[in-house]
A and B are shown apart, each in its own frame.
Chain A
Amino acid sequence: MGNEQEALNLVNEQVEYKWVGTRPIRPDGADKVTGRATFGADIDLPGMLTGVVIRSPHAHARIISIDTSAAAALPGVLGIVTGADLPELPNEVAAGGEAPINFRYVSENAIARDKVLYDGHAVAAVAATSVEIAHEAASLIKVNYEVLPHVINVLDAMADDAPVLHEGLITKGVEPAPTKASNIAGKTEFAMGDIEKGFAESEVIIERSYTTEAVHQGYIEPHAVVASVAADGMVNIWCSSQGQFMIREFCAKLLGMDIGRIRVTPAEIGGGFGGKTTVYLEPLAVVLAQKSGRPVRMVMSRGEVMRATGPTSGTHVHIKLGAKRDGTFVAGEMVLKYQAGAYPGSPAFLGGMTGFSCYELPNAKATCWDVVSNRPKCAAYRAPGAPMASFGVESAIDELAQTLGMDPLELRLKNAAKEGTATIYGPKFLQIGYVETLLAAKAHPHWSAPLGPNQGRGIACGFWFNIGGPSSASVHVNEDGSVSVVTGNPDIGGSRASMAIMAAEVLGMELSKVKPLIGDTGQIAYSFLTGGSRVTFATGMAVCDAAKDVVRQLRTRAAKMWKVTAEDVEWRDGSAFCTKVEEGKDRAPLTLAAIAHAAARTGGPISGNVSINAAGAGPGFGTHICDVEVDPETGATRVIRYTAIQDVGRAIHPSYVEGQLQGGAVQGIGWALNEEYVYDANGRLQNTGFLDYRMPVASDLPMIDTVLVEVPNPGHPYGVRGVGEVPIVPPLGAVANAVSHAVGLRLTSLPISPPKLLAAIDGAKAAG
C-alpha cells in the first residue's frame, strides 16, 4: 500500500512491536497465486458421484407428489433424496450457532417438505456416476405442484389479504397475540427516553421513507461440498463454509445424528460475507452418500446461488428525526420492515439496534418488523441489517444539515456518540473511536477538495457491535523449534497471517518459523464460525493465550535444564535468559530450538492449548466520504473518489485491514447503485447471473482510499477491534447523499439505477 496512505493513518498508542502492525506476505499466499489452493469444488475422491438438486420453478406451491421412479431406474443413478428423507424437526427456536435458530426452517429451506416457498427452492436431489446422467435423472423426476398465489414485496406481504406462506405463523412480540396467521413473523422494539416529548421539543423535524432492494453477498465461489460415509457410518464432509463446527452442528441437527459421528474438514473458502454461515447442500450430500455408499460432490451453479442462497433483506425504512435549530438531536424514530425471505429471521432487529447508535440521542425508538415473502430465506450479510437502517438515518441527517444550513460533518460531530453515550439497546459505550474518525475525515484532503459540474460529495457513518465468542487455539513447539499454530476458523481474508503475527509477537520469535494451520473438527476444539468480525479478535486472543502458556512452559523447561526455578528464567526475543548468576555455571541463553531439542528430557512435547469464550469485543465505527459524477441526460452515476475511515483498534496486518475497508465499501457502492433482485409477475427471479446482477467491476471504480484510526480495544492483548462489518454500513448513505447533492434531489430508493435516477431528474424538471 502506498505510503501516502499510511501517512494519513492515526495511531493513538505508540507501542513498538516486532511483528504486530507489519505487512508480511500471508502464509497461504503462494498456494493461492499459483492455483494450488484447494477450494470446495476442487476436492476429488475415488469413486465420487455427482449430485444435482431439483428446484422449484414456482414462487409458491404445494407439493402434491414427487415421482422419482423413472430417475431411479436410470443406469448410473445411485441415490435420490427428498424432504421425506430428513427427520421432521420441532417448530421451536433452539440455541444454535450464532443466534437462536429454528432448525425446522433450516431443514425445510435445505429441502422442501409439503410446500415450496420460492423460485429455486430445493425439492429433491440425485446422485449419479456422471454430471450428464445426474442432470438427465433430474429431468426425469416428476414433481406435481398445486401452484398457490405468491407475494414478493414486504409491504404487500404485510397486507391483510396477502397470501400466507406459513399457516401456523402467529406474529411474535405484539400484545395481545394475533389470532390469525400472517406473514408478519415478529415485531421487536427498542426505546429510550420519551420520543413524544422529544419531538414536541424539536424545532426541526425530518421525516421520510426509504427503500432498499434485496442484494446478494456475491461471493465468487459457489457453494460446494463433498460428503463421504465410512463403513462404520462415520460421516466425513469437506466443504467451503464460514465454520466447520457450524456445518457439523447444523448437519447433526438436520439429520438427527450425534455431532461426534460427523467430521468436517474446511476447504479454502472463496468468499462468504455471512452467506456461508448456514447449510444448503451439505445435508443433502450426506444423505446421498449414505444411500449410495459412495462419496458425493455437489456444486451449485451461479443461478442456484442467486435463486436459493443468501441474500439479505429488501427493506422499507421510515425515519423521523427531530433536532434543535443549533443542530442538537432531540428525538429519533425508525420503523423498519425487512424481508426475511421464505422463513422468519430477517436482521430487522439489528437494524433497530444499530441505526441510531452513531449518535447521542436522548429520545429514540425503533420498531422492527420481520416479514416473510416468497423469496429465498435471507442469510447474514456483513453487518446484517445495519446498512439499510443506516441509509435512512444518514440520509435524514444529511437533509437536516441542508435544512439547517450546517456542514453535514460538523452536524455529525456535534451529536457524535462517545464513551458513556447510551445506546438504544441499553448499554453505554466504553472506549470507542467514532469522533476520531470524524476528525480524520475533516482533516482529510478529500473533504475539502473542489468538485466539478454534475459532481456531488456525500458523507455517512456507520456502527457495528463486533462480537467475541468461543474460540480455540493450539500452539505446538515442534522438535526443531519451529511452531505450528492450529485454529478452527476458515481463513476468509488473511487471518492466517494475523494468527502467525500474534503468536510470533508473544513468543518473540521469527515469523517465518511460525506456521498457521486450520484444523478440521477433529483436530482442534470447538470454535465459533468466521463471522461477526470476530476471528482476529477472539481466535487471536486464544492464540495469544496459548502462546503465553507456551512461554510459561519454555521457562519451566529452561529452568530444569539450568537446575533453577522458573522465576529465575526470563523470556526475551525468543530465548530463555537465566537471571540467577552462580559461580562457575555457564548459563548462556537457551534458544527456543535448544529447549525444543531437549523437550523429551524435560517433560515431553511443549504445547499450549486454549479454549475461551472471548468477551470485550470493541465496537467499530466508520466514516466514509464519496464523490460522484452524474450524467444528467442518462442518469448514469460514477463514483469518482472514495475515502473510508475507520476505528480499527489495532491493525495486526494493516494491508488486510485496509482490504476489509475497501471491499466493504465497494460492496456498499454496488448495493447503492446497481445491485438488486428482480422478480417477474410469476415470482421468478429474472437476474440469476453476474450479467444482470450487476456487481461493481474494476472499471466502475476509483482507488478506495483508507484511513486506519487506531484506538486500541482494551479488551484485547494487542487492542484488536473487529473490522470486517463496519465498512459496508456507511456506503449506502454516502453514495445516496453524494448523488442527491450532484442532482439537487433527495434520492430515497436504492439502487439508484440509471432509469430510476433519470426518471427522478426529468420528473423534477417537469414539476419545475
Chain B
Amino acid sequence: MAKHHVTTTVNREPVELLCDPSATLLDVLRDELGLIGSKEGCGTGDCGACSVLMDGRLVCACLVLAAEATGHEITTIEGIAEGNTLHTLQQQFLEDAALQCGICTPGFIVAAKALLDRNPDPTETEVRFWLAGNLCRCTGYDKIIRAVMNAAAKMREEAVHG
C-alpha cells in the first residue's frame, strides 16, 4: 500500500519516515523509531500508558495518526531526562516509590510534566483529575500523587533558587 511520508521532530531530533497512512503515532514510535517507553495498554485512549507531548500538549499516541505528526514537535518519555540526569519528576517517582510494576510509569511522568509545565503549584484534586486518564493498577495512586506534589514543590524551590 502507498506509504505516507512524515517529517517531524521527536525529542528534539529531526525524524523522517514512511508509514502506512493508518498507522498511529504510537505504532511508529515503538516499531519504527524504537522508542518503546510509550506503552500500549488499551489502544483506545483509555489508559494513558502511551501519553506523549505534541507541541507541549498532552495526547495519547494511540489516538494520533503518525501522518498527523508532520510539522509538529513530539516529546516522549525518552525525551524527559536531560541526558543521564533524571527530571525532578523521575527522581521523585523513585524516591517516593511511586511505581510497582512500572508499565504505567512513563505515561504518568509525561502527563505529570504536562501539568507542572502549566501549573507549577497544583492542588491534590487538580493532580488527581489531570491524571485521571492514566490508569495504574498496582499503587492505588497514593504514592504517585504524592510524588507529583513533592516534585512540584522541589521544582518551585529550584525555580526560586535556580
A–B contact with Cβ pairs below 8 Å: the answer is yes
**Which residues of the partner chain B approach A33 to less than 8 Å between Cβ atoms?**
86, 90, 93-94, 99, 102, 105-106, 109
Pair B129/A695 contact, Cβ less than 8 Å: no
A659/B143 in contact, CB under 8 A: yes
Which residue, of A34, A44, A494, A696, has the highest number of chain B Cβ atoms within 10 A? A34
Q: Quick one: which of B99-150 are within 8 Å of A by CB? A: 99-106, 109, 124-125, 127-129, 131-146
Contacts of B46 on A, CB cut-off 8 Å?
A: 302, 689-691
* Contact residues in B for A658 (Cβ distance below 8 Å): 97, 143
Is residue B42 contacting chain A, with contact meaning CB distance below 8 A?
yes
Partner of A492, one of B47, B86, B101: B101
Q: How far is B145's CA from A17's CA once the two chains are assembled, in angstroms?
A: 30
Contact with B along A699-724 (1 / 0, CB 8 A): 10101100000000000000000000
Measured CB to CB, the closest approach of chain B to A441, in angstroms, equals: 19
Q: State A270–B40 Cα separation when bound (angstroms).
A: 11
Among A35, A39, A271, A664, the most chain B Cβ lie within 10 Å of the Cβ of A35
Contacts of B40 in A (CB 8 A): 41, 222, 299
Whether A662 pairs with B140 at a CB distance below 8 angstroms is yes
In the complex with contacts A219-B137, A493-B138, A34-B132 CB distance below 8 A: no
The distance in angstroms between the C-alpha atoms of A301 and B46, with both chains bound, is: 13
Complex CA gap A691/B41 in Å reads 12
Q: Which of B38, B97, B133 contacts A23 (CB 8 A)?
A: B97
Q: Is the interface of B mostly helix, strand, loop or mixed?
A: loop
**Is residue A1 contacting chain B, with contact meaning CB distance below 8 A?**
yes
Q: What residues of chain B lie closer than 8 Å to A220, measured between beta carbons? A: 39, 41, 47, 49, 101, 103-104, 135-137
Chain B residues with CB under 8 Å of A23's CB are 97
* Contact between chains at B44 and A493 (CB < 8 Å): no
Of chain A, the residue at the smallest CB distance from B103 is: A270
Hey, which chain A residues are within 8 Å of B47, CB to CB?
220, 302, 690
Q: B139–A494 contact, CB under 8 A?
A: no
Pair A697/B137 contact, Cβ less than 8 Å: no
Tell me, rounded to whole Å, the shortest Cβ–Cβ distance linking B56 to chain A. 19
Interface flag for B17 (CB, 8 Å):
no
Binds A, one of B2-10, B63-71, B72-80, B153-161: B72-80
Chain A 536-565 interface 0/1 with B at a Cβ cutoff of 8 Å (1 = within) = 000000000000000000000000000000
Whether A302 and B41, one on each chain, are in contact in the complex, defined by CB atoms closer than 8 angstroms, is: yes
Closest Cβ of chain A to B113, distance in Å, is 12
Whether the Cβ atoms of A698 and B134 lie closer than 8 Å is yes
What's the least CB distance linking A712 to chain B, in Å? 22
Inter-chain contact A494/B103, CB cutoff 8 Å: no
Q: Is A268 an interface residue (CB 8 A)?
A: yes
Which residues on A sit within 8 Å (CB–CB) of B54? none
**Which residue in chain B gives the minimum CB-CB distance to A653?**
B97
* Cβ distance A334 to chain B, nearest Cβ, rounded Å: 29
Tell me the nearest residue of chain A to B45, going by C-beta: A691
* Complex contact B103–A39 (CB within 8 A): yes
Q: How large is the interface on A (under 10, 10 to 19, 20 to 34, 35 or more residues)?
A: 35 or more
Q: In the complex, are the beta carbons of B101 and A219 less than 8 A apart?
A: yes
Does any Cβ of B come within 8 Å of A570's Cβ?
Answer: no
With A220-B136, A691-B46, A699-B128 already in contact, the answer to whether A34 and B143 are too (CB < 8 A) is: no
Instruction: Tell me which of A24-32, A282-290, A750-758 binds B.
Output: A24-32
B97 near A699 (CB under 8 angstroms)?
Answer: no
Q: How far is the CB of B144 from chain A (nearest CB, A)?
A: 7
With A29-B94, A33-B94, A302-B42: A690-B143 Cβ-Cβ less than 8 Å:
no
**Distance A372 CA – B129 CA, assembled complex (angstroms):** 41
Kindly state whether residue A417 has any CB partner on chain B within 8 Å. no
Binary flags per residue of B83-103, CB closer than 8 Å to A gives 1, else 0? 000100010011111011111
Q: Which residues of B contact A217 (CB under 8 A)?
A: 137
Q: Assess whether A32 is in contact with B41, with CB atoms less than 8 Å apart.
A: no
Residues in B with CB closer than 8 Å to A704 are 140, 142
In the complex, which residues of chain A have a beta carbon less than 8 angstroms from the beta carbon of B140?
Answer: 659, 662-667, 696, 701, 704
Bound together, the chains give a CA A355 to CA B104 distance in angstroms of: 33
Cross-chain contact A270 with B101 (CB below 8 angstroms):
yes
CB atoms of A659 and B102 under 8 A apart? no
Complex Cα distance A365/B14, Å? Answer: 69
With contacts A25-B95, A29-B94, A221-B39 taken as known, whether A703 is within 8 angstroms of B142 at the C-beta atoms is yes
Hey, which chain A residues are within 8 Å of B100, CB to CB? 271, 492-494, 656, 659, 663
Sample of 13 further A-B pairs with CB below 8 A, known A29-B94, A273-B137, A662-B140: A35-B77, A44-B34, A132-B20, A219-B137, A221-B101, A270-B103, A271-B101, A271-B103, A271-B138, A659-B140, A689-B46, A690-B42, A698-B131
Interchain residue pairs with CB less than 8 A apart (26):
A33-B109, A35-B35, A42-B36, A220-B41, A220-B104, A220-B136, A222-B41, A269-B101, A270-B101, A270-B103, A299-B40, A302-B43, A302-B46, A493-B138, A659-B97, A659-B139, A659-B140, A662-B139, A663-B139, A664-B140, A666-B141, A689-B44, A691-B46, A698-B144, A703-B124, A703-B145
CB-based closest 5 A-B pairs:
A35-B37, A270-B103, A666-B140, A32-B102, A655-B97
